Amino acid sequence: MKIGIIKERKNPPDKRVVLCPNQVKKALDRYKDLTIKIERSDIRVFSDQQYEACGFELSDDMSDCDLLLGVKEIPVDALIPNKTYVFFSHTIKKQEHNRELLKACIEKNITLMDHETFVDGKNTRIIGFGRYAGIVGAYNTLRGFGLKYELFNLAKAETLLHKEDLIFRLKKQFFPPIKIVLTGQGKVAKGVMEILDGMKMKKVSVEHFLTQKYDRPVYTQIGVTDYYKRIDGTEGSKQDFYDNPELYTSDFEKFSQVADILMTGHFHKTGSPVILTKEMLNSPKNQIKLIGDISCDVDQGPIESTLRASTIAEPFYGYHPRQGEEVEFDHPAAITVMAIDNLPTELPKDASEGFGEVFVEEIMPAFFNGDKDQVLKRATIVKDKKLTERFDYLQDYVDGKE
């Protein structure tokens, strides 16, 4: 098998890579019938020279590769017909802007797998950049707090190399006794907690968060049973919510009345109710002043102040709760919003090394063991010029009917 590590072509540029030089070496040492070619790139966080120094093949022609690995979406005109690709296609939620990409994969007889669709037998995701989204998102949110109140001006995360650099800078700053509420319990939320715990912020129970005052910054972590409740007033459960989201409504207002900052690390399934509404934010009892929407679901998303994704260049904007409109992030009446949708790009070295380690250990074996655990089969969206059975719900999307 010949694997090609392709150049990232999406704009704005993404410096991440699936396999860094050390992981390429590890894979080649482990699989004797494997060869790996690196497409030349002038933006990758690991330079061409770093790969060449390890003796790896570099080229501008990837047409002889069996499997092509990338991070972000690939422009349609750069897709090589009759190949197998793995990248984040951002199509499985019927994202409108990538409809043509999915159609092109079908028309060009491309076998498409998506990093997001690599799941185990329990349908749990195997690989992703969620941890690094949480790490960078937490840093950016706290950086925004310093800017909003003119307390400090931290360096942008993209100018730093490692998580430890972020924590070092945060620990040097003074924070008043703010309360932070964190939604979610997955990899994104754990990444956020790596930052908060690293800077020695105190974690408190939900009950104490809602009822106690503190003389130092604190945070609490909440799950679906904390911020949703059943409409009929009966007791709900996590599994019941997953099975019947339409029977639930938001119960987040008790948090918006006491929290200064919201950081989101939840997964929001299509059809689930809103978490933070415009009415909550416009209430005279609202205390939230800054929202780090790390999950960043824009279209019909659960955080109604997220009017659009922000960018690494311009990470913050303001949400005017009375008008329901965007204003400058430092507007006196604004709730400041950080909603960057490609956060791991700001820490490309750490993110690439962590991602590649999981790819080599958890995904790559499936290409050499006959896919005995059906990891590849479950991840395949397109094969033989049609959607696979697992993803045939996307047919109307492909046909332009949705």
Active site residue ranges: 72, 90
Residue tagged 């590890």 (tokens): 26
Is 243 annotated in a binding site? The answer is yes
B/e letters for 119-138, b = 16+ CB within 10 Å, e = fewer, are: beeeeeebbbbbbbbbbbbb
Q: Would the annotation count 22 as a binding residue?
A: no
According to the annotation, is 341 in a ligand binding site? yes
State how far the Cα of 156 lies from the Cα of 154, in Å rounded to an integer.
6
One-letter identity of residue 312: I
CA distance 234 to 223: 18
Q: Is 297 annotated as a binding residue?
A: no
The shares of helix, strand and coil residues in the chain, as percent rounded to the nearest 5, are 35, 15, 45
Please indicate if the annotation marks 340 as binding a ligand: yes
Strand partners, 271: none
Residue type, 271: G
- The neighbour count for residue 66, using CB atoms within 10 Å, is 12
The answer for residues whose C-beta is within 8 angstroms of residue 74's C-beta and 6 or more apart is 6, 9, 10, 85, 87, 101
Strand segments, DSSP code E, in 173-289 are 179-183, 202-203, 218-222, 228-230, 248-250, 261-264
Residue 92 is given by DSSP the state T
First to last CA, the chain: 38
* 61/41 Cα distance (integer angstroms): 12
Q: Which residues are annotated as a binding site for NAD(+)?
A: 243, 340-343
Q: Which residues are annotated as a binding site?
A: 243, 340-343
